């Protein structure tokens, strides 16, 4: 069954033998919706057939690239790992796990430096703590770190509800709204600056705000101190008298 499914998956991956390398086939091909759906279905069938092919009690070394990591998590009862990102992924399962302290830091210091191992059984290089992990697997009452794993899972990965995709979408939408509000504010400020920079033709022709009209009135008043209703005439006359003296 594995051979049959694998052969069909190879045919689908080949894309019908259109020639060229993978990049050329990707460039020239069009989306094959039916083929993609069949590929997904066959991969699920292959995965299920793979796990049926051996007994659950048998030791297995997984080398096939088709085997999915999270299916390995689902099939296992516990995990022993070095410190890596796989530890954080496995925490989502809620199952017991152990992490090797190969540097010999000691359990407390190792946990202080690595958040992901704070709910793990810490294995020294002698692995004397392995019995604690096996006890947690075989007897739920002996699983003293169960609550710590639940708390660490929420801390590292967030709550189960809403889903991670829903949380991501909400965060992206909130960020987009914040960016849009910022863009509106910038546009308003730029618009205000442009309004201040636009010259006022009427003001320019009348001399408003430039002091030109006042200067003209003073000049007229100096020429004719008896002029009536000329703004600044009295001031100009006074200045002229002072200058004469």
135 vs 4, higher pLDDT: 135
Q: How many CB atoms lie within 10 A of CB 96?
A: 26
Q: How far is CA 198 from the centre of its chain?
A: 42
Tens of pLDDT, residues 186-241: 998 888 766 655 555 555 555 555 555 555 455 555 545 454 444 444 444 444 44
Q: What is the CA radius of gyration of the chain?
A: 40
**What is the per-residue burial (b if ≥16 Cβ within 10 Å, else e) of 97-133?**
bbbbbeeeeeeeebbeebebbbbbbbbbeeeeeeebb
Inform me whether the pLDDT recorded for 34 exceeds 60. Answer: yes
Asked whether residue 82 carries a pLDDT value surpassing 80, the answer given is yes
Three-state secondary structure of 143-184? CCCHHHHHHHHHHHHCCCCCCHHHHHHHHHHHHHHHHHHHHH
Q: What would the pLDDT profile of 111-131 be if each residue is shown by its tens digit?
A: 999 999 999 999 999 999 999
User: Can you give the pLDDT at residue 238?
Assistant: 43
The reported pLDDT for the residue numbered 36 is: 84
pLDDT at residue 199 in the model = 56
pLDDT at 191: 83
Whole-model pTM? 0.60
pLDDT above 90 covers a percentage of the chain that reads 42
Above 60 in pLDDT, residue 33?
yes
Answer yes or no: are the C-beta atoms of 101 and 124 closer than 8 Å.
Answer: yes
Other CB atoms within 10 Å distance of the CB of residue 15: 16
Q: Is residue 181 scored above 50 in pLDDT? A: yes
């Amino acid at each position: 069954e594995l051979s049959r499914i694998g052969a069909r998956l190879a045919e689908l991956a080949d894309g019908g033998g259109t020639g060229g390398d993978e990049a050329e086939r990707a460039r020239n091909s069009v989306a094959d919706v039916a083929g993609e759906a069949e590929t997904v279905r066959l991969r699920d069938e292959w995965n299920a057939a793979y796990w049926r092919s051996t007994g659950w009690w048998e030791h297995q070394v997984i080398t096939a690239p088709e085997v999915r990591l999270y299916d390995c998590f689902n099939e296992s009862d516990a995990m022993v790992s070095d410190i890596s990102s796989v530890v954080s992924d496995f925490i989502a399962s809620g199952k017991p796990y152990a992490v090797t302290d190969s540097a010999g830091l000691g359990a407390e210091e190792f946990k202080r430096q690595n958040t992901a191992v704070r709910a793990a059984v810490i294995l020294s290089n002698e692995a004397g703590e392995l019995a604690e992990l096996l006890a947690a697997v075989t007897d739920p009452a002996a699983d003293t770190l169960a609550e710590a794993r639940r708390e660490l899972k929420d801390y590292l990965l967030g709550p189960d509800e809403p889903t991670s995709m829903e949380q991501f979408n909400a965060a992206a939408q909130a960020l987009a709204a914040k960016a849009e509000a910022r863009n509106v504010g910038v546009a308003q400020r730029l618009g205000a600056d442009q309004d201040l920079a636009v010259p006022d033709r009427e003001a320019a022709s009348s001399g408003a705000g430039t002091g030109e009209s006042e200067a003209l009135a003073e000049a007229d008043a100096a020429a004719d101190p008896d002029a009536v209703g000329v703004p600044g005439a009295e001031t100009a006359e006074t200045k002229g008298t002072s200058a004469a003296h």
